[in-house]
């Protein structure tokens, strides 16, 4: 796991995905966010860490788009979040983001196992609290 810190964009996979968002056409953003969330939420087998990390970042993007959503000052977050630009997303992404987060922290998740093994699971779960709160979960 190429994690540097507990924030949703503070790892190799999430930072790379944020770069993809930066390069995408505005009309493609919804599709990219939905795909990242669905890949994790719909995984019935073992959830790989790369998929989980991107899903956490996508959930953070959805959370930031909510009224009073959290701000992410990370230099690795998508530029529209760093610049404070708003993003209007379909409402159905909120429950999908919550399902994805639930899957990321559940059993059979490499993300959870790796954070547990390094002793920082509580810290990373705490970092997700503002995301979950903004999503209403």
Q: What is the DSSP code string of 73-117?
A: --TTS-HHHHTT------TTHHHHHHHHHHHHHSSSBHHHHHHHH
Count the alpha carbons within 13 Å of 80 in the hemisphere toward its beta carbon. Answer: 19
| Averaged pLDDT score across all residues of the chain | 92
Backbone torsions φ then ψ of 36, nearest 5 degrees: -65, -40
Q: In the chain, what are the domain boundaries?
A: 12-135
17 token code pair: 């995905």
Q: Read off the pLDDT of residues 70-127 as tens digits, 9 standing for 90 and up.
A: 988 778 889 888 887 778 899 999 999 999 999 999 989 999 999 999 999 999 999 9
pLDDT at position 2 is 63
For the record, the structure tokens of 91 come out as 């409402």
Tell me which of 72 and 131 has the higher pLDDT.
131
């Amino acid at each position: 796991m190429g994690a540097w810190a507990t924030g949703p964009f503070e790892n190799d996979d999430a930072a790379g995905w944020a770069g993809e968002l930066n390069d995408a056409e505005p009309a493609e953003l919804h599709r990219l966010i939905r795909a990242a969330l669905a890949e994790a939420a719909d995984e019935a087998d073992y959830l790989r860490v790369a998929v989980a990390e991107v899903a956490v970042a996508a959930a953070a993007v959805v959370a930031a788009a909510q009224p009073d959503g959290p701000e992410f000052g990370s230099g690795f977050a998508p530029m529209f979040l760093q610049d404070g630009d708003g993003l209007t997303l379909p409402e159905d992404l909120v429950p999908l983001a919550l399902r994805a987060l639930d899957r990321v922290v559940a059993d059979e998740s490499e993300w959870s196992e790796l954070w547990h093994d390094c002793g920082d699971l509580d810290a990373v779960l705490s970092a997700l609290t503002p995301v979950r709160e903004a999503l209403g979960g």
